[in-house]
Structure 1
Amino acid sequence: MEQIAAVLGDGARWRIVELLAARPRSVGELAELTGLRQPQASKHLQTLAKAGLVTVFPLGQRRVYALEVGPLVAFEGRLRGLVETAEAHAGERDVLARYRDAISSETALAESDHWADGRTFSFERLLPATTEVVWRHWVEPALLASWWVPPSMSVSEALLEPRSGGRAVLEYRSADGRYRSEGTVREATPYGRLVFDLAVVGESFRASYDLTLKAVAEGTQLLLQLRIDDTTVAAAPSIAGIELGWNQVLDNLTHAIDKDSPT
């Protein structure tokens, strides 16, 4: 497939393939129609033949070339697969566009340190599981690491110790670097409430979280309230990503719980 893509990337060869799609043609006819000299046309046809795209028929003194459709059909299938994959993940591109716009907006506001102190965010989810199951996904490290991770990153450490004074740690790794947040659990009421804070190491940016879980007929009503303080100008891109990021990871949580819960 890579060879076919490389061969068709040349404009002259692409024009020859278009002409051969209509009917077989001789080297002289192809040279005349493309404006190439005959040796140039012959060289392009040899390249197409090596890629399996054309077949030559020696007819006395003439050499006539015909297009082979099979490789093009296979190439079309690969291209269609790429298009379908891109269309299926178009939402991720939209998220990047919204994040870019949010960074521009926040950067324009960030004129001095503490510019966003006191800002709050609120997120809700109805989860199809008991409060015990949802609680475990927050306080058991392996379960926490299974969902609290942005795309293209992996969790190297995730910890929310469910007790007052417990450690709160979240560390991501990606091809571009390491991102670590540390803090303290302030309150932990099993299956009901978890209060903790996390500060992004190296950015002087602290977030306070208040998680409440409420049992309802459909499962668990989750409410997460978040407040940011100690904000710096440099923290604008991170603050711009809070809403988008938390919506993504809470979707991850929903999928993780749905997968782990019995039908």
Structure 2
Amino acid sequence: MAPGAPEDPAAIFERLHPKLLRVAYRMIGSVHDAQDVVQDAFVRWMGADRSEVREPEAFIQRTVTRLCLDLLKSAKRQRETYLGPWLPDPIVDDDGDDDVTLPLMLALERLTPLERAAFLLHDVFGLSFDEIAKTIDRDVAACRQLAARARSHVREARPRFQIEKERGLEIARAFYVASRSGDMAALGKMLAADVSVHADGGGKRPAALEPVVGLAEVMKLQARLATMFAATVSKLVRVGFINGLPGFVSQEADGEYSTTALDIEEGKIAAIYVVRNPDKLKHLH
């Protein structure tokens, strides 16, 4: 590109692409839908009259956010009829540095789309309230109120006890081994008294239709699962961080993947999140 020449519009979008995907995924909770939103925004950006656009990044981010808000309206209706617990698509990485953890994403589900947008854009992505006001077509004072209400709702979902990363991965490995081998004594020592299990099969693979809560009930569930695992072959694919929580990806006897994320508080597993819905795991293959 010659000095002083305007940057190629496709190159501008490509530079922003990773950030746009992060915004869209955290707004929607679906990898596939986030990719569709970003692709739609690209088409709109390439077709826009760029002589009228003074700040390309702001224009593109506004487009992505508004498309997400439109999608959330229909997503809310779909999730009201979803079979069993709904969990966001699992994102697996090696560092666990994401501060938008799985429990926080679930807390965001309880917000209105505008509250979610104001909170994420300001508290997570650092946009000013002036820019957020332009993005969601509300005045600055209203945006501040939306973010404040969101903050009050999600405060409890923020991690109270930060576990050392390697220790978290050790617990994830130990949980996998104990659950597959049926070592109930080892499992019992890992679990908190009020532990809960949330399994998302989406009606496409077997999974409990309601959360299983309490140590006694979870141990009964794990005992039943251990009997099933003993008769099949389960393969550990990867240990890592799933939406910011220690966990693992496994391949079950039917060849399908599943992910298990562990919310650990004071060294004990307080919640277990399992995604088995194959539609939510395609990107892991």
TM-score bin (small chain): under 0.3
Q: What TM-score do the two structures reach when normalised by structure 2?
A: 0.24
The structure with more radius of gyration: 1
Instruction: Name the one with the larger strand percent.
Output: 1
